[in-house]
């Protein structure tokens, strides 16, 4: 429990947050979009690891988005998203000054962040944006941080400068070698763990396959590994059970028990299959919207 307890003074009124887009920036060859959204109540409460659920409009679906950054003073939160379906496509077309229909949060368990020593933060693709908020929290407690972030090529790397400012060491990997080391973040991690024996904790956030691979790498080293999962959700308050994952043989709900879990206990294969449950409909929705 790292965050300073903010005194619930009356500075932010209980009126519905406006959810207005304050800033918007396209990154990584326009595959990733960064948005700063006005949500003062959420900004005041959000802690590392938590997420929001938003709706674009009256017919919109409820989409979970991890909070990458918050600014309680300005009353804003920052999200990063990749355009993967209809909702994210609609979001990319939204302009500064436009409003989301609904934003609810902060959701999920905040991560319990301690001062423990050397922590390796591994981020793949947009996962780096999720990792960033958690990295900030570890930085605040003066841990020794090793960042390993990767993407297919140098243009797809996000938050390199920001992660570099937080980490004591930063390793960048690209599949094609256009920046940093050629190869995958998992290879860089494996090499690092072979030479550095005082790593106390590894965080891995990215595609499921990457988090699964990281967990496999750290297991023989017996290093505690945390991952952040993003299964399909509907309400995000524990009501529907759509986001259930098997962790250590038990059913857990990512929305209220997570989204962060011990990576060595997660049943990734089941989660990967569950994520594909609505693939056909998601495609239909996207096609329908462009017709």
Partner 1 sequence: MEQKTQAEKINRQKMPEQNVSSRIRNFDEVPLGYDPQTAQREASRCIMCKNPKCVEGCPVEIDIPAFVKLIKEGKFLEAIYKIKEKNALPAVCGRVCPQEDQCEKMCLLGLKGEPVGIGNLERFAADYEYTQPLAEVKKPTSPTGHKAAVVGSGPSGLTVAADLALLGHEVTIFEALHEPGGVLIYGIPEFRLPKAIVKREIDYLKSLGVKVFNNMIIGKIFTVDELFDRGFEAVYLGVGAGLPVFMGIPGENLNGILSANEFLSRVNLMKGYEFPDTDTPVYVGNHVAVIGGGNVAMDCARTSLRLGAKRVTVLYRRSRREMPARLDEVIRAEEEGIIFHYLTNPIRYLSNEQNWVKAIECIRMELAEPDESGRRNVIPIAGSEQTIEFDTVLVAVGAGANPVLSSTTPDLKLNSRGYYIADPVTGLTSKPRVFAGGDIVTGSATVISAMGAGRRSAQAIHKMLMGIQDTPTTD
Nearer to partner 1, 144 or 278 (CB): 278
CB 185 within 8 A of CB 148: yes
Phi/psi-derived region of residue 164, left when phi > 0, alpha when psi is between -120 and 50, beta in every other case: alpha
Nearer to partner 1, 102 or 162 (CB): 102
Nearest to 104 by CA among 12, 42, 21: 42
Binding residues for partner 1, rule: CB under 8 A, are 8-10, 14-17, 41-42, 45, 55, 59-62, 86-87, 101-107, 234-235, 237-242, 244, 246, 251, 256, 270, 273-274, 276-278, 281-282, 284-285, 288-289
Nearer to partner 1, 10 or 222 (CB): 10
Spell out the residues 6+ positions from residue 273 whose beta carbon is closer than 8 angstroms to its own. Answer: none
Nearer to partner 1, 118 or 133 (CB): 133
* Angle CA 219–187–225, to nearest 5: 30
Question: What phi, psi does 91 have (nearest 5°)?
Answer: -65, -40
Nearest approach in angstroms of CB 273 to partner 1 is 4
Nearest approach in angstroms of CB 2 to partner 1 is 17
Nearer to partner 1, 24 or 55 (CB): 55
Nearest approach in angstroms of CB 73 to partner 1 is 18
Residues in the chain: 291
CA distance 236 to 63: 9
Nearest approach in angstroms of CB 185 to partner 1 is 27
- The tokens describing 61, both together, are 């679906």
CA distance 129 to 124: 9
Nearest approach in angstroms of CB 247 to partner 1 is 11
């Amino acid at each position: 429990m790292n965050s300073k307890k903010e005194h619930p003074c009356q500075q932010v009124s209980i009126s519905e947050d406006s959810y207005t887009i304050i800033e918007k920036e396209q990154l990584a060859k326009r595959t990733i979009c960064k948005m700063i959204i006005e949500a003062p109540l959420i900004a005041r409460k959000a802690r590392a690891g938590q997420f929001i659920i938003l709706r674009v409009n009256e017919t919109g679906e409820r989409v979970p988005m991890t909070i990458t950054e918050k600014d309680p003073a300005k009353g804003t939160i920052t999200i990063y998203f990749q355009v993967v379906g209809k909702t994210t496509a609609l979001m990319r077309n939204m302009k500064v000054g436009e409003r989301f229909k609904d934003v609810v949060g902060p959701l999920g368990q905040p991560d319990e962040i301690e001062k423990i020593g050397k922590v390796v933060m591994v981020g793949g693709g947009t996962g780096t944006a999720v990792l960033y908020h958690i990295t900030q929290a570890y930085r605040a407690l003066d841990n020794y941080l090793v960042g390993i972030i990767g993407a297919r090529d140098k243009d797809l790397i996000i938050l390199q400068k920001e992660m570099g400012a937080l980490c004591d060491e930063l390793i960048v990997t690209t599949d094609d070698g256009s920046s940093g080391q050629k190869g995958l973040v998992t290879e860089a991690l494996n090499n690092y763990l072979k030479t550095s024996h005082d790593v106390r904790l590894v965080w891995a956030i990215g595609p499921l396959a990457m988090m699964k691979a990281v967990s496999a790498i750290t297991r023989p080293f017996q290093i505690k590994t945390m991952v952040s999962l993003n299964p399909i959700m509907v309400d995000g308050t524990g009501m529907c059970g759509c986001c259930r994952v098997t962790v250590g043989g038990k059913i857990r709900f990512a929305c209220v028990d997570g989204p962060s879990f011990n990576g060595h206990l997660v049943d990734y294969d089941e989660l990967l299959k569950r994520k594909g449950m609505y693939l056909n409909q998601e495609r239909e929705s996207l096609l329908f919207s462009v017709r």
